[in-house]
């Protein structure tokens, strides 16, 4: 297979999706979580090189523990004239233990990232608790709490204030479900413009995906390659591997591209924004944009390989003993009673 070896892509070639308010967001971003084994300095170095290579969309979060280092990298890029602030789309998120202090959380992220504003700020998870972000897969915090809509709306009202104060340009959600979004949309003054969610060929979430599109909420896809580098705590025996799927392999062979390229092309052509992370293959992910598109038949074939395989199950947020992680995702179609 011929490997495209390109050190830079003209950022103008990266397509954009238009949000409901008219703002445009690059159709591919660089995730900055990776895994527990990736040090903040390595992530920051990747961010700097990725922006030099053409990336203009950075997906950050306070809980990743690397916003200070990323802020230093972005500041260097701006000072060196590599990129202008208005050319970047930078996202951050409020963590679970700050739901009652959203504005404080946002200001801290801005300080760490050395920015005057964020393009997008998300509620990272709809569960307010103080569970440590890095923990054993089977551990459960005795103070974990379920989704309570009244409390979530108090959080969301603070999110709306961020726009009023000029700290962010857009607000959105993450790890939501259709029932939770319906409640939010029924009560909010400012609608979320994006919902960040796990999306890859083996977890296509068609009901949630289509609901977001219907409500003009742009889907952002984390783990778009099936998260091969996810932490051990998020691995189970039932997990499947997207990039080893026969359908993906067949398309990659025909097009003479990598299986990761196929997954990224599928995501963008479907209408979702992939935010893969890799300290080694970020250019490979960007290169997916410069070869030809998948065919209509390719898209149909990939739609048939959805296995409902959720890789980031969120089990550390469960609030009861002997509880299934499925309760976090309202898989019955209704919000699990508290």
Q: State both tokens at 236.
A: 């189970």
Give the C-alpha separation, 287 to 8, whole Å. Answer: 9
- Closest among 204, 207, 209, 245 to 228, alpha carbons compared: 245
| Beta carbons within 8 Å of 306's beta carbon, 6+ residues apart | 201, 202, 203, 204, 206
Could you tell me if 29 and 36 are in contact, meaning their C-beta atoms sit under 8 angstroms apart?
no
* Separation of CA 228 from chain center: 15
Give the C-alpha separation, 74 to 72, whole Å. Answer: 6
Could you tell me if 226 and 241 are in contact, meaning their C-beta atoms sit under 8 angstroms apart?
yes
CB atoms within 10 A of CB 112: 18
| Pairing, β 171-174 against β 273-274 | unpaired
- Catalytic center residues: 64
Sign, CA dihedral 325-328-331-332, equals: positive
């Amino acid at each position: 297979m011929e490997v495209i070896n390109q050190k830079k892509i003209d950022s103008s070639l990266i397509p954009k999706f238009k949000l409901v308010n008219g703002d445009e967001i690059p159709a591919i971003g660089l995730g900055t979580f990776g895994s527990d084994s990736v040090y903040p300095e390595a992530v920051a170095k990747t961010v700097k090189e990725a922006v030099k290579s053409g990336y203009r969309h950075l997906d950050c979060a306070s809980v990743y523990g690397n916003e200070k280092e990323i802020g230093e990298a972005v500041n260097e890029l701006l000072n060196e004239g590599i990129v202008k602030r208005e050319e970047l789309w930078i996202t951050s998120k409020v963590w679970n233990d700050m739901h009652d202090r959203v504005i404080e959380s946002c200001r801290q992220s801005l300080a760490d990232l050395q920015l005057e504003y964020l393009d997008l700020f998300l509620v990272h998870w709809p569960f307010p608790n103080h569970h440590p972000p890095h923990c054993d897969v089977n551990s459960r915090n005795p103070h974990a709490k379920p989704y309570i809509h009244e409390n979530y709306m108090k959080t969301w009202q603070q999110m709306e204030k961020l726009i009023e104060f000029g700290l962010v340009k857009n607000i959105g959600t993450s790890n939501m479900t259709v029932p939770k979004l319906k409640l939010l949309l029924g009560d909010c003054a400012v609608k979320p413009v994006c919902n960040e969610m796990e999306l890859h060929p083996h977890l296509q979430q068609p009901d949630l995906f289509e609901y977001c599109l219907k409500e003009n909420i742009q889907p952002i896809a984390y783990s778009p390659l099936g998260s091969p580098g996810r932490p051990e705590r998020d691995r189970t025996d039932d997990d499947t591997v997207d990039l080893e799927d026969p359908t993906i392999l067949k398309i990659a062979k025909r097009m003479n591209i990598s299986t990761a390229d196929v997954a990224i092309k599928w995501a963008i052509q479907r209408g979702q924004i992939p935010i893969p992370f890799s300290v080694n293959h970020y250019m490979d992910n960007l290169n997916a944009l410069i070869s030809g598109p998948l065919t209509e038949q390719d898209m149909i074939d990939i739609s048939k390989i959805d296995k409902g395989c959720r890789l980031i199950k969120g089990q550390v947020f469960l609030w009861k003993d002997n509880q299934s992680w499925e309760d976090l995702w309202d898989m019955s179609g209704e919000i699990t009673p508290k």
